Amino acid sequence: MNRREDGSFDEFLRSSSPRLLRLAWLLSGGASSAEDLVQETLERVYVAWPRIEPGGTHNYARRVLVNLHTDSHRRRWRENLTSEVPERGRSDSADRVALADQLTTALAQLPVRERQCVVLRHHADLSEREVADTLNISTGTVKSSTSRGLARLRTLLATEGVRHV
């Protein structure tokens, strides 16, 4: 029995999809592009599944997702993002929704490298070394990009009256 047939991919799919979707949404800034990014990531992980080390599946998927995002950004073709927020369930408080919207808008204004570094460091909670390995850049670049990205986010969010970022 190979790894695809033992149910491990299904378990991985259930446990990783929400995390990958949040990461993709923060990187791409839009729900539909995030969903597309996650779907393509999962397709590639499925194809590579027999070759992936059992303990490294989440890291592999995260790296695929970030690489796909980088590749899509390099292409000149882009979707037109709207400023409308997708409908959410009634369980979210208005403050959390407003803050998430402001954060997403501010993240979308950062250069791609800064956005990737900030999201991977502070949302995915990766170390500087892990971010550097994921993005195939030096740790110095991670440090400087994260620092510039956070400074820019603070400025952008301060103009909107948001605190504690």
Local structure of residue 55 (DSSP, 8 states): G
Alpha carbons 48 and 67: distance in angstroms, whole number:
15
Q: Domains in the chain, ordered, with CATH? A: 1-75 (1.10.1740), 93-165 (1.10.10.10)
Note the pTM of the prediction, 2 decimals.
Answer: 0.66
pLDDT at 96: 73
Cα-based angle 148, 149, 150 (whole degrees, multiple of 5): 95
1-31: b (≥16 Cβ within 10 Å) or e:
eeeeeeeebeebeeebeebbbebbbbbbbbe
* pLDDT tens-digit readout, 131-156: 999 999 999 999 999 999 999 999 98
When comparing pLDDT for 29 and 126, which is higher?
126
* pLDDT tens-digit readout, 19-49: 999 999 998 888 888 999 999 999 999 999 9
Alpha carbons 135 and 72: distance in angstroms, whole number:
14
Whether residue 122 contacts residue 114, with contact meaning beta carbons closer than 8 Å, is answered with no
Alpha carbons 19 and 6: distance in angstroms, whole number:
23
Site of tokens 């695809």: 4
Whether residue 148 contacts residue 114, with contact meaning beta carbons closer than 8 Å, is answered with yes
Alpha carbons 23 and 84: distance in angstroms, whole number:
20
